[in-house]
């Protein structure tokens, strides 16, 4: 049975499949004339748009639309945002938009003669449980059975190893539209073991676009007064100019007034020098963790659209003192690796194997009664081979308690800067009555599957009664009936080309939600830490102000966002 390999990206998505002749990247969209010569013939922009009549379009057609666009939805998977808001302030559930994108990907593969119902889908190396679960959920509602979620660097390494099967230590430098992931893996007989991983969650192709647009804005007065359609057209021109500068020494950017602005590669490289230097941080972290120096890596694999920039390639090669592999296609390698994994899982590919590891530790918070600060108690350790099942014993802080609060926590306690996230929590009633002889202990079991779903079970030791049995799920649709309704709506929308009115989310204050989303998804992730403080404070103030109706808070966030309008 054929299964798809899907690289579901922030800005672009790619679909590949393994067949009898090898791995084939499917042409599921047609790039415009201006973009096609630069390797975008097999790329599907991760964009959906709808017009005033609720008719929808996807991919390149949606990317070029001047209004009604829903983009960068993948970036919302890891946030607390439940709604995607377009430039007009109209809202849909994040899961609804993502499911329609997955459904469109599946529909277009069928048009390519591949009627697959299963898929391996890639996720960023440092993405946590919330993003992973929402990815699987949306793909499932689109009609795809998710065989596994695998890390993007692992997929890239599998693509590389298809051409170079010998055992070696690989460094995958994955710089896409929104994030940078650096991962060192050991390849041995087709098995890939992650040895070290680090990244920058606020660095990607959009940062390079903004640096290039800054050059234009600093040189041409009056661009702050552009209308939304003109701003979008300029943004596309800037992005395309960045791409052209990867193969040309100079290019021209067409301005909204019909004039053009000439930019050289050398000027662009001066502007992005700071971004390049920042990328040294995760590279050095990985080398330090493994206690190795430059020149110790056997192979360097560069993936992600940002790695097509010559200055990026040269910088990384110079830091590592290693040449990158010239045969790897940065745009399609991750999808190719996912297709190889799909072939292994379906039995089409019998020449290799791989296994998945837990990217972060999973545990719970405990208290000792002497401090208000919680202690992270690990139940499944980072790096554990999946599927994984582990149990630990706990008891209430106070022996007379009639219930306990159980929190599922994800984090890396051994990291120099531990970061913990509470994925879900329950208040659970204890079944064993208190007596002086009772320990009141309960077993807490975590079962984490290869598809990224965590099952949590708590059992009272003395009575054997199961007091908790649930999975960690996220998103707006807590009720599974809502998920079924959403799935049915999406299938109808993709078939008919029209979004149902039932899908629209009515917001108390559309402008407030629009600004909050722009800040959290399109601006704050791409600013230096020194710049984010006032914006974060303004977003929180607006969120906490009576349903987002505070005129003062709204005006303040609008004022702070104004200088970054080119990012959205």
- The predicted-structure confidence for 235-252, as pLDDT tens digits, reads as follows 999 999 999 999 999 999
Structure tokens at 39: 């390797």
Please indicate whether residue 188 or residue 448 has the higher confidence score (pLDDT).
Answer: 448
Please indicate whether residue 107 or residue 352 has the higher confidence score (pLDDT).
Answer: 107
Band of the pLDDT at 466, cuts 50, 70, 90? very high
Q: Assign domain 165-324 to its CATH superfamily.
A: ATPase, nucleotide binding domain (3.30.420.40)
- The reported pLDDT for the residue numbered 331 is 93
Residues 6 or more apart in contact with residue 522 via CB below 8 angstroms:
72, 567, 568
- Please check the confidence at residue 94 and state whether its pLDDT lies above 50: yes
Query: pLDDT for 131-156, tens place per residue?
Result: 888 898 899 889 999 888 888 988 99
Architecture of domain 1-163+328-350: 2-Layer Sandwich (3.30)
Architecture of domain 361-471: Sandwich (2.60)
Sole residue written with tokens 């007065």: 221
Backbone conformation region of residue 367, classed left if phi is above 0, alpha if psi is from -120 to 50, else beta: beta
Residue percentage of the chain with pLDDT more than 70 = 92
- The reported pLDDT for the residue numbered 475 is 46
- The reported pLDDT for the residue numbered 557 is 87
- The reported pLDDT for the residue numbered 98 is 92
Give the relative orientation of helices 480-496 and 129-141 as an angle to the nearest 10 degrees: 60
- The reported pLDDT for the residue numbered 476 is 45
Per-chain mean pLDDT for the chain: 86
- The reported pLDDT for the residue numbered 477 is 46
C-beta separation of 345 from 150 below 8 A: no
Rounded to the nearest 5 degrees, what angle is found at the Cα of 19, between the Cα atoms of 13 and 23? 45
Structure tokens at 425: 């929590």
For 189, other C-beta atoms within 10 Å of its C-beta total 10
Largest CA distance in the chain: 85
Return residue ranges of the chain for CATH 3.30.420.40. 1-163+328-350, 165-324
Residues 6 or more apart in contact with residue 331 via CB below 8 angstroms:
12, 14, 39, 40, 42, 43, 305, 308
- Please check the confidence at residue 337 and state whether its pLDDT lies above 80: yes
Return residue ranges of the chain for CATH 2.60.34.10. 361-471
Query: pLDDT for 412-465, tens place per residue?
Result: 887 766 778 888 889 999 887 888 777 889 999 999 876 667 889 999 988 899
Query: pLDDT for 280-335, tens place per residue?
Result: 999 999 999 889 988 889 999 999 999 999 999 999 999 999 999 888 999 999 99
- Please check the confidence at residue 552 and state whether its pLDDT lies above 70: yes
Structure tokens at 488: 């049915």
Please indicate whether residue 567 or residue 392 has the higher confidence score (pLDDT).
Answer: 392
Please indicate whether residue 70 or residue 190 has the higher confidence score (pLDDT).
Answer: 70
Distance, in Å, from the CA atom of 222 to the CA atom of 163, rounded to the nearest integer, reads 51
3-state secondary structure 193-246: EEEEEEEECCCCHHHHHHHHHHHHHHHCCCHHHCCHHHHHHHHHHHHHHHHHCC
- The reported pLDDT for the residue numbered 547 is 52
3-class secondary structure, 22: strand
Distance, in Å, from the CA atom of 338 to the CA atom of 474, rounded to the nearest integer, reads 25
Query: pLDDT for 494-546, tens place per residue?
Result: 888 888 877 877 766 777 877 887 787 778 766 766 778 888 888 888 877 75
3-state secondary structure 64-106: CCCCCEEECHHHHCCCCCCEEECCCCCEEEHHHHHHHHHHHHH
- The reported pLDDT for the residue numbered 340 is 92
Threshold 0.85, pTM exceeds: no
Distance, in Å, from the CA atom of 48 to the CA atom of 62, rounded to the nearest integer, reads 5
- Please check the confidence at residue 345 and state whether its pLDDT lies above 90: no
Query: pLDDT for 21-74, tens place per residue?
Result: 889 999 999 999 889 888 888 899 999 999 888 899 999 999 999 888 988 888
- Please check the confidence at residue 253 and state whether its pLDDT lies above 70: yes
């Amino acid at each position: 049975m054929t299964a798809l390999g899907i690289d579901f990206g922030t800005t672009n998505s790619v679909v590949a499949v393994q067949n009898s002749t090898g791995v084939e990247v499917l042409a599921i969209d047609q790039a415009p004339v201006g973009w096609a010569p630069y390797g975008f013939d097999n790329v599907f922009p991760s964009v959906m748009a709808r017009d005033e009549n609720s008719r929808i379009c996807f991919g390149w057609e949606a990317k070029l639309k001047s209004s009604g666009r829903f983009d960068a939805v993948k970036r919302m998977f890891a946030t607390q945002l439940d709604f995607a808001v377009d430039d007009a302030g109209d809202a849909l559930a994040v899961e609804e938009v993502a499911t329609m994108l997955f459904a469109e990907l599946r529909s277009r593969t069928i048009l390519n003669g591949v009627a697959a119902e299963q898929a391996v889908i890639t996720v960023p190396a440092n993405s946590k449980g919330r993003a992973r679960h929402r990815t699987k959920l949306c793909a499932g509602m689109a009609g795809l059975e998710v065989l596994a979620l695998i890390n993007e660097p692992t997929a890239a390494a599998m693509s590389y190893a298809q051409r170079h099967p010998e055992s070696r230590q690989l460094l995958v430098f994955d710089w896409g539209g929104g994030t940078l992931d650096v991962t060192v893996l050991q390849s041995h007989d087709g098995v890939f073991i992650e040895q070290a991983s680090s990244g920058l969650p606020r660095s990607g192709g959009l940062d390079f676009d903004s640096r290039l647009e800054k050059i234009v804005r600093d040189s041409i007065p009056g661009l702050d007064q552009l209308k939304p359609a003109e701003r979008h057209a300029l943004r596309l021109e800037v992005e395309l100019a960045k791409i052209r500068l990867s193969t040309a020494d100079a290019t021209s950017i067409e301005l909204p007034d019909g004039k053009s602005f000439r930019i050289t590669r050398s000027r662009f490289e001066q502007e992005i020098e700071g971004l390049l230097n920042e990328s040294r941080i995760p590279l050095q972290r990985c080398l330090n963790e493994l206690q190795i120096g430059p020149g110790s890596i056997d192979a360097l694999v560069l993936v992600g659209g940002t790695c097509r920039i010559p200055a990026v390639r040269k910088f990384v090669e110079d830091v590592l003192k290693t040449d990158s592999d010239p045969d790897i296609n940065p745009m399609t390698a991750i999808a190719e690796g996912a297709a190889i994994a799909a072939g292994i899982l379906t039995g089409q590919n019998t020449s290799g194997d791989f296994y998945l590891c837990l990217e972060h530790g999973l545990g719970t918070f405990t208290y000792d009664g002497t401090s208000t600060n919680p202690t992270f108690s690990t139940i499944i350790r980072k790096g554990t081979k999946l599927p994984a099942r582990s149990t630990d014993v706990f008891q209430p802080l106070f022996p007379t308690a009639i219930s306990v609060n159980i929190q599922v926590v994800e984090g890396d306690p051994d990291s120099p800067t531990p970061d913990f996230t509470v994925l879900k929590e329950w208040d659970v009633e204890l079944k064993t009555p208190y007596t002086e002889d009772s320990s009141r202990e309960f077993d807490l079991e975590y079962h984490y599957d290869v598809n990224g779903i965590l099952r949590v079970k708590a059992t009272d030791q003395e009575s054997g009664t199961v007091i908790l049995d649930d999975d960690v799920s996220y998103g707006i649709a807590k009720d599974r009936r809502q998920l079924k309704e959403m799935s049915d709506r999406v299938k109808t929308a993709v078939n008919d080309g029209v979004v149902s009115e039932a899908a629209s989310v009515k917001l108390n204050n559309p402008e407030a939600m629009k600004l909050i989303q722009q800040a959290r998804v399109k601006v704050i992730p791409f600013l230096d830490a020194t710049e984010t403080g006032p914006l974060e404070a303004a977003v929180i103030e607006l969120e906490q102000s009576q349903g987002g109706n505070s005129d003062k808070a709204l005006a303040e966030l609008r004022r702070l966002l104004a200088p970054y309008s080119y990012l959205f």
